Amino acid sequence: SVLILDFGSQVTQLIARRVREAGVYSEIVPFAKGGEAYDRLAPRAVILSGSPASVTDADSPRIPENILAADVPILGICYGEQVLCAQTGGAVGPSGHREFGRADIEIVDDCAFFDGVWKKGDKPHVWMSHGDRIDAIPAGFRPVAVSAGAPFAAIANDTTRRYGVQFHPEVYHTPDGARLLANFVLNVAGMAPTWTMAGFRAAKIAEIRAQVGTERVLCGLSGGVDSSVAALLIHEAIGDQLTCVFVDHGLLRAGEAEQVVTMFREHYHIPLVHVDASDAFMAGLAGVTDPEKKRKFIGGAFIDVFEAEAKKIGGARFLAQGTLYPDVIESVSFTGGPSVTIKSHHNVGGLPARMNMALVEPLRELFKDEVRRLGVELGLPPAFVGRHPFPGPGLAIRIPGEVTKEACDTLRKADAIYLEEIHKAGLYDEIWQAFAVLLPVRTVGVMGDGRTYDKVCGLRAVTSVDGMTADVYPFESAFLSRCATRIVNEVPGINRVVYDYTSKPPGTIEWE
Ligand code: XMP
């Protein structure tokens, strides 16, 4: 495996993704726990991430000594290069020339890290983001690339197989970056590309069987890709020891409950308990307008239903969840304290403790795109695997103000029209997430000589890689006009449609 030491860069996760795309398993560990992780994992290579910190600050992060003492290939990226220099005999100081964004470098010498990708004389584009610069490199290293602001844009020591780059090979905007990282793990470190979805599937099935034995497992299905893939994998491992519970809280999209139930029962023959709890959820949401109160109520109500269903089938020792890697990575924070809660994400987190259950989380090591590939590997239809994410609290957080059954029905109609138009235009797969929201605001309109006084529907569509940041999808105005016309004409109760033009940050994807 490859050990990635996180020094707090915003893009550390991308390093792990690139390494895995090359077919090699990688784990991200906060730098302070790197020494222990190195002994535990015995990795065949180490990659040092970037950081918002400065090597010239007294308390800035350092590479654990056991890693520096080991005979293991190391690649330092940005801060990683600087700290590698600072700790092994080089010198780093503030730069008069800061480089941010796209930069051109020149390859001044060949090295094993560039092999097959760049050679002496090449002038590739890269993406830089640094203030400090290296003034002197450690003994044994030589400069292999230069830029206007960095005489040591890349340094190499082919004997110890240690390299440093001032630019970020992990980001999309360094076009040859993925090939460089692949070359580092496959050729410099000599690892075999054995991390495949077929291999992962087989290994996980064995692991689940060993963990669960003959006990029962409960899985809460949301209809989303993650919990569905987790359920299929576990079912393949332990068959009917798995019971899936699908809670319909009345906050689902049009046709969603039917699709999930049909797929699991008829297509996969997986026993599925379908609970229609919409009355209880609607009753509890009556009068609630505060977004956090909505989220907390829904989370709690979900656990109540789940617990009641679990009792009916005689209980279970294990609870399955579709937790993904981004949720479990302990990232390094330089904000000086615990991060602020923007939104309480809904999950079944309270249940295991309340019912004394252990967790089965077979997707803990995967990124979303890997889960999608695993879904395909397990035979899920591509259309299902490619579905846009849908939040646990469902339509409740797309109806600012009070959530009523009538408002949910109105929103379902508008949302279905919007998605139908997106599919018809062939845009669904280009968009990370698209949905309609229903505002409590009423405005005046005119339809067929008559005055209307109805609600506003907001449309949202974003592109994103992981939901952490997002850009607005730039529809053509004819497309938006078509959606607006259809929604106002076909959905009673809506007489105005607006498009949300806010990126994340400063907006969030959902409205609540
Ligand atoms: P925000 O609104 O925070 O959303 O920008 C980022 C992504 O997370 C989804 N989301 C949720 N998913 N439970 C979930 O399972 C939740 O409570 C929840 N809240 C937001 C949102 O749809 C988007 O994809």
Residues 6+ apart with CB under 8 A from 132: 54, 55, 56, 82, 92, 93, 94, 95
Cα 148 to the center of its chain, rounded Å? 35
Q: Which of 263-267, 345-349, 398-402 has the lowest mean pLDDT?
A: 345-349
pLDDT mean over 474-478? 98
Residues 201 and 339 in one domain: yes
State the average pLDDT over residues 165-174: 92
Whichever domain contains 44, its CATH number is 3.40.50.880
**From the CB of 508, is ligand 1 less than 6 Å away?**
yes
Structure tokens at 270: 């997986």
Residue 343, ligand 1, Cβ within 6 A: yes
The pair of three-digit structure tokens given for residue 267, joined into one six-digit string: 């297509």
Quick: pLDDT tens for 409-442.
999 999 999 999 999 999 999 999 999 999 999 9
79-86 mean pLDDT: 96
List CB contacts of 330: < 8 A, sequence separation 6 or more: 29, 30, 33
3-state secondary structure of 225: helix
132 has a pLDDT exceeding 90: no
Q: Is the CB of 509 under 6 A from ligand 1?
A: yes
pLDDT band (50, 70, 90) for residue 66: very high
Strand order, beta sheet including 318-320: 272-276, 242-248, 217-221, 318-320, 358-360
Q: What percentage of the chain has pLDDT greater than the value 90? A: 74
Q: Is the pLDDT of residue 326 over 80?
A: no
- Distance between CA 325 and CA 363 in Å, rounded? 7
- Given a cut of 80, whether residue 333 has pLDDT beyond it is no
> Please, how many CA atoms are within 13 Å of residue 248, restricted to the half-sphere of its CB?
17
CA of 459 to the centre of ligand 1 (A): 16
- What is the rounded CA–CA span in Å between residue 364 and residue 450? 56
Q: Is 228 annotated to bind ligand?
A: yes
Which residues lie across from 6 on neighbouring strands?
30
Residues 373 and 289 in one domain: yes
Residue 368 has a CB neighbour count (10 Å cut-off) of 18
Section 304-311 average pLDDT = 88
The pair phi, psi for residue 347, each rounded to 5°, is -155, -175
Our count of domains for the chain comes to: 3
Atom number, ligand 1, closest to the C-alpha of residue 344: 17
Query: Binding residue per annotation — 227?
Result: yes
> Phi first, then psi: what are they for 510, rounded to 5°?
-75, 160
For the stretch 442-472, pLDDT in tens is 999 999 889 999 999 999 999 987 787 889 9
Per-residue pLDDT band at 340 (split at 50, 70, 90): low
92 falls in which pLDDT band (50, 70, 90)? Answer: very high
Helix boundaries (H) for 288-378: 291-312, 325-328, 351-355, 368-377
Is 223 marked as a binding-site residue? Answer: yes
220 or 96, which is more confident: 220
CATH code at position 453: 3.30.300.10
Range scoring the smallest mean pLDDT among 68-72, 158-162, 271-275, 365-369: 365-369
> At residue 100, does pLDDT exceed 80?
no
- Taking residues 144-158, report their average pLDDT: 93
User: 430 with 374, same domain?
Assistant: no
My answer on whether 235 and 374 are in the same domain is yes
Residue 178 sits in the same domain as residue 296:
no
Residue 336 has pLDDT above 80, yes or no: no
| Shortest-distance atom of ligand 1 to CA 512 | 2
Q: Is the CB of 389 under 6 A from ligand 1?
A: yes
Burial class (CB in 10 A: 0-12, 13-18, 19+), 295: buried
Was 177 annotated as part of a binding site?
no
Point out the residues that are catalytic. Answer: 78, 168, 170
Residue 391 lies in a domain: no
388 ligand 1 Cβ < 6 A: no
Report the C-alpha gap between 457 and 302 in whole angstroms. 28
> Does residue 345's CB lie within 6 angstroms of at least one atom of ligand 1?
yes
The pLDDT of residue 343 is 67
- Alpha carbons 493 and 475: distance in angstroms, whole number: 25
Q: What is the mean pLDDT of residues 3-17?
A: 91
pLDDT value, residue 346: 53
Residue 367 sits in a domain whose CATH number is 3.40.50.620
Asked if the ipTM is above 0.95, the reply is yes
296 C-beta closer than 6 A to ligand 1: no
CA distance 455 to 451: 13
Predicted pLDDT of residue 21: 93
Kindly report the average pLDDT of the chain as a whole number.
Answer: 92
Q: Which of 321, 351, 385 is the last residue of a domain?
A: 385
Same-domain status, 227 and 183: no
The count of C-alpha atoms lying within 13 angstroms of the C-alpha of 203, restricted to the half-sphere facing its C-beta, is 11
Which residue, of 153, 188, 223, is where some domain finishes? 188
Q: Which domain holds residue 427?
A: 404-499
CA of 397 relative to ligand 1 center, distance in Å: 10
Distance CA 72, CA 62 (A): 17
- Residue 84 in contact with residue 75, Cβ under 8 Å? no
From the CA of 262, how far away is ligand 1's center (Å)?
A: 26
More confident residue, 129 or 156: 156
Of the residues 345, 368, 397, which should be mutated to test ligand 1's pocket, given the most ligand atoms within 8 Å of the CB?
Answer: 345
Q: How far apart are the CA of 509 and the centre of ligand 1, in A?
A: 7
CB atoms within 10 A of CB 492: 12
Q: How far is the CA of 456 from the centre of ligand 1 (A)?
A: 22
Q: Is residue 30 part of a domain?
A: yes
- Between CA 506 and CA 479 the distance in angstroms is 25
Q: Specify the pLDDT at position 313.
A: 85
Is residue 502 pLDDT above 60, yes or no?
yes
CB 106 within 8 A of CB 147: yes
Instruction: Look at residues 354, 385, 416 and tell me which one is the last residue of a structural domain.
Output: 385
Q: Which residue has the higher pLDDT, 349 or 184?
A: 184
